[in-house]
Structure 1
């Protein structure tokens, strides 16, 4: 894992806390705003607050009809400020598209708008359908006495119940994998023709994280194009991974060997593109949700029917091979975090993941057997198995998560004889200069942190 930048994290926390204060104080005005937008004729009342990773929400109820709705605002700091409107717009487009083209249970969007239209100028917002159900992640995880414990799939879970859940999710993933576009980027609907197009570059989870928490220059992304080929997208990602290393101020917190290892891993990622990054290179490309996990899903605990998939803010058309991967969350643990804990943790993760991988592939096979498909279309279950067996699953994960690059490369994709040997002479000659540059950067960071009174409280 990349060392944390505590100054950036504290900056985000300060901005977030100020927004939460304003949001709570504005509760009556927010409920009144929802009432007006939905024509409830002053029958609206506050129901509850919701706080997610990137959004603050209020659920409101019409006390006459019992209709309920949720209004949601992206949290400043947690979402890079200049991207808050883009995030909202992109999610609205994806939700509307999924309603038109799939049977995936997503909330209906009633209204959305910009900061100037919002109550108290709180920011861009979405008013959407209130979805019933309990958090699927809570249903699947192993019970623990401490709520702060990292979630892991309950080893004693009823296998019939889990198979049913996996089949439902396999159906959703299969539908997503069939949504084709000629280019890589964010989708939108043409107001005149009604056609769905890819006209903007993607906005991804990783882009937001590196800009918000790692000092990545946001202006770099203003020139990012819409991509026609997967290999071009991966080449751009390789450049971003290197920029992230150069601009991340705390990299030299670790030893020189580890710091140099980070450099090597990023250069080797670029070298691995011809091996792992050329599946369906020219398209068609596929719609892919970067944050589709059980904690963002609701389920009816009595019928075990999944009632809602939520949070599509970082969903884009991406290289098709992303849609051919197994879900990374099959045991509810993030693979990159497990790899960072060392060889024993890696092996434990694989021992737990492998059986669930087989279980999910079999669930996909059962769904495919019931689903009509063109004779020429390869089975998604077979593509998932090939992605895992070939190592492409890990390359794809590495490309989407800047913080996981090092552990994925060195623990999974590195092979004997590679590493420094994959670097050209000019790059190798720049090693000492790179290490000096990172050390000076880290010393400047430490000096700034020591002079920041927030850390002396």
Structure 2
């Protein structure tokens, strides 16, 4: 996986740490704010905090007066500061939509508000029910004494336990796959009598947040409106991949690496016609961060008690919803392949994928969404997922959603190795551009390393 820009990341961490200190200092004020919002009668007490990748939450209890809640703030630095309001609004709306249209276990949202409404203007917030449970990723991971060790699926979990977990998630994914919109982007609800949900905003994605907070990507170059065609979305992503290559100074380690990344990203663009399906829609609900670390489970009953974190959910190209889950091994495919190789990944992933698809087929056999007027066999979600894997669309889709993994995914999963270094697959003008790009990346890398030596002198002296 491509590394982050250390300087950009350090600046983001500094901003985040300053904000966390402010939040800690305002703890009593935050508790009083939540108490007042929920008519707690002064019973609210601070019970602890939870820090995620993009948010920090305070757990506030009210004793016997009412159930406890979380107030969750989007963290600046980890989330792009100007986008925090957009991110929170998108999440609240998708949770409301999913509560109306599915049986997915979602926390009840009591209220939410803007940075101006928050105590000490800490940021846009959501106040939601506190749901008890163990993170599913913790339950599923291989036991370890090292809390920083990468999560890996516990090989000693019995099949029946995994089946029970997979069937629940398969049910939720099936329900989401039946919801459709006519455009790509974020949704909102009509304030009128109809209460109709439509796409009204751009698709704010997980990848956009990573690019902006960790690579130095120019934020003003992101798209700002909904899209009408899947091909338009993929063309936009291809431009995003190429601009990322141009702008992250430490993206390539040497000239050969720079050329490989250039070829991979140009070839991704060329592959759009091959892999872009259902171009004109309908488009499907897709949550790119729907994975075990954002699910809670009761370890005694194996019942999933809550699905969390829908901030980067959008109406997206339907083929994303038709992929087998990428998270079945807990560790992402890009990291696994880079560390251990494709053969090792496939040997571990394919058995779990087949187990998940069998669970999905059992869910489909019992579901009213499939029986009695449901889709024909060739259109069922399980069939579509098998097709996605068989055709390689799974890998194209994953590369589209992961700017930091696109290069390794292309070379390991999408490139025909009979085509050598891939330069012959590019037109003459694009091949000529490769030389300029390589020179530019080496100049950028030299300047970046010099700046790092000044910024982090303690590391350069080691």
TM-score for the superposition, normalised by structure 2: 0.95
Aligned mate of 1:360, from 334, 339, 356: 356
Aligned mate of 1:446, from 435, 441, 449: 449
Distance in 2 of aligned mates of 1:453 and 1:264: 32
Contact kept, 8 Å, 2:255 with 2:442, in 1: the verdict is: no
Superposition deviation, residue 332 in structure 1 = 0.9
Answer yes or no: is 1:262 the counterpart of 2:237: no
- Match for residue 197 of structure 2? 196
1:136-151 aligned within 5 A: 136-151=136-151
Secondary structure at the residue paired with 2:212? helix
Distance in 2 of aligned mates of 1:453 and 1:420: 37
Distance in 1 of aligned mates of 2:302 and 2:433: 57
Superposition deviation, residue 455 in structure 1 = 5.4
Distance in 1 of aligned mates of 2:407 and 2:350: 22
Answer yes or no: is 1:322 the counterpart of 2:324: no
Contact kept, 8 Å, 1:271 with 1:422, in 2: the verdict is: no
CA pair 3-67 structure 1, distance change in 2 beyond 3 A: closer
Secondary structure at the residue paired with 2:116? helix
Deviations 1:197-249, CA, capped at 9 Å, x for gaps: 1011110010011011111111112x443111111110111111000100111
Moved over 6 A (4+): none
Superposition deviation, residue 435 in structure 1 = 1.3
Deviations 1:161-219, CA, capped at 9 Å, x for gaps: 11011000100010111110000000111222411010111100100110111111111
RMSD of aligned alpha carbons: 1.4
TM-score for the superposition, normalised by structure 1: 0.96
Deviations 1:115-174, CA, capped at 9 Å, x for gaps: 111011101100011112111111111111222211111111021111011000100010
Which segment is superposed worse, 447-456 or 87-96?
447-456
Distance in 1 of aligned mates of 2:458 and 2:443: 21
1:97-136 aligned within 5 A: 97-136=97-136
1:176-325 aligned within 5 A: 176-192=176-192, 193-221=194-222, 223-252=223-252, 254-277=253-276, 279-325=277-323
- Match for residue 163 of structure 1? 163
Distance in 1 of aligned mates of 2:251 and 2:98: 40
Secondary structure at the residue paired with 1:249? coil
Secondary structure at the residue paired with 2:404? helix
Secondary structure at the residue paired with 2:56? strand
Contact kept, 8 Å, 1:339 with 1:345, in 2: the verdict is: yes
CA pair 81-455 structure 1, distance change in 2 beyond 3 A: farther
Superposition deviation, residue 257 in structure 1 = 1.1
Contact kept, 8 Å, 2:337 with 2:344, in 1: the verdict is: no
Superposition deviation, residue 71 in structure 1 = 0.2
Distance in 1 of aligned mates of 2:326 and 2:353: 9
1:396-415 aligned within 5 A: 396-415=397-416
Distance in 2 of aligned mates of 1:185 and 1:140: 32
Contact kept, 8 Å, 1:449 with 1:455, in 2: the verdict is: no
Superposition deviation, residue 66 in structure 1 = 4.5
Distance in 1 of aligned mates of 2:351 and 2:440: 45
Secondary structure at the residue paired with 1:316? strand
1:400-439 aligned within 5 A: 400-415=401-416, 416-417=418-419, 419-439=422-442
Structure 1 unmatched runs, 5+: none
Aligned length: 452
